[in-house]
Structure 1
Amino acid sequence: MDLEKRPAADLRKRPATPAPERPAAQADGCLVVAIRLPVRILALIFVVPVRLLWDALVAVGRVLRDTVLRPVGRALAWLGHTLVVVPLSALWRCVLAPVGRALGLALAFAGKCLFVWPWVALWRYVAVPVALGVGWLLRMLLVVPAVWLYAYVLTPLGHGLAWLGRMLGAGAAGLGRGVRWALRMLFVVPAVALYTWVLAPVGRAVAWVARGVAAGVVWLLRGVVLVVGALLRWILVVPAVALWRWVLAPIGRGVAVVAREIGAALGHAWRVAGYVSRAVWRCVGRLLRWIFVDPARWVYRSVLTPVGHAVRDHVWRPAADAARAVGRGTRQAVAAARQSVRQARADVRRALFGAPRERVPAGEVPQGRRGPEDAKRVL
């Protein structure tokens, strides 16, 4: 539990932190202002007809797409599917695939008969027995004699030759040590002395002279490089920098300003042309609506709809009710005639063949008939 007093809150108003000042927009120069207005006027004059034509082409393209191209495309797709895909699928499924499977089975069977089974029989009944016989013959003629020769001739001879080689090796080792000492005393010791006392001092002197010569050459080359670099700087770099700074950069800035203003003017003109085109086409659409759509709608609502309702209520419905009543009476008459025909056919059958017998279940015995047990009991 914290028993220490917390410091009182500071209720004094703190001064508001000033918001960071935004850099003021850079004012355009007089050249920019002088170029902007004519360019925008010319762009508006040339862009408005293009925008009107563009909007008209877009509307016509949408109408053609929705009313002509899309139904024609669907019809062509259905026609292609019906005339090409369905026949080809049926041909593949019902003709080519069964024929291909039958040909594959026939070719597989023929290939087995011509290539697989003869080679299998040749391998199993000819090559394998011949190979087993040849292997046994070679083993008896070569392997067994070779094993006997190795065990009883070559092994003892090899042991003797190994002992003789060890003896000769010991003598050759002693001779080699003597020859090595002689070669060391004749070549190695004189060569080391020659390197230590003759070649090393001479090499150090030559290296010192070479370092001095190299330092002089480096100093000379450095001076030549500095002179040539200064000449190239004053001949090429300084004029190029001056040309870029005082000629190309101002021209580029002017061209950039003109291009930017032309682009901005084209953008403003395109947007203004959009507003103008929208207003023009809206006005044209409203005129077309007043000329064609509203009269057609009025004719449909005020003339065609009441006439259609009257025809439906006073012509079609009574005719339909009468047709339904006639159909109902016809069905009843046909049903009555069918029932009469059935009854007449049943009467004829009963008159010719008698009444049909009643079916008795298998578990029950009629009262009029007696079984064998009842006959025995009576006797």
Structure 2
Amino acid sequence: MDSDDLFAARDAARRRELAHRPPADDDVPAWISYPVRAIAFVLVLPFRLLWELARRIAAALSWAGVYLVWLPLRWIAVNLITRPARWVWQRVLRPPLRWILVYLVITPIAWVTVTLIYEPLRWVWQHAVRPVLRAVRPLITGFFTLLGHVLSAIHRWVLRPIAVAVGWMFHVIERALAAVWHVIASAFAWAWRYTAVPVGRLIAWLWRYLVWTPLRWLGLAVAWTWRHTVVPVARAVAYLWAHTVTPVHHWLRDSIWRPAASATREILTSLGLRRY
């Protein structure tokens, strides 16, 4: 493919891009807008009319469903089914069912419960269980009284001496532990006062005069060197860079590199080897 074919292909691509770009409303000419309106009138308007007709039919069907189906069915259900069924229940079915429930179910169950269960249990309690309990009540009272005396004697002569002995033993152990703790604390305090404190002071003195002071003077020397040597040299280098290298770099960029790059792009574009 030669350069003419490349230019023709590029012009055709630009024309297709401009043709597919949507025009603004103010820039549409009349020879385009009128045919578009005619096509919309022929194609879109019938569908719009069908949509409106479908909406009207749906509204009519909804009205018919409410006023011709739902409301009549509701009136029939309320006046011909619910109210007659309620009247039949209240006037016909409920009285005999209530009589059957009261006189044929509840009353016999109550009679059987009172006559065959409650009265026999009451007779057994009054004539069998209560006399026996009255007869054995002195024995039960004496048993619990004797048990109370036995427990009191056990508490007085067994448990209380054991508790006193255990308390005395804990008191002796507490005094012994207090004495041992006093001895250990005194020894630790003496060792801390006459051993740890001098050693700590010696370590602090060594740290201050053998580590901290040399490091402090070394830091001051490094800071002085940095401030009076490194910083001035860096400022001088920066000044020389800004007033010698930077102007040369800007001149090379603006006078040689950018024009050369622009010429190269134009040549590649004209040859069709590079797009815009």
TM-score range with shorter-chain normalisation?
0.3 to 0.5
Question: Normalised by the size of structure 1, how large is the TM-score?
Answer: 0.31
Q: Which has the higher contact order (CA 8 A, sep 6+)?
A: 1
More helix as a share of residues: 2
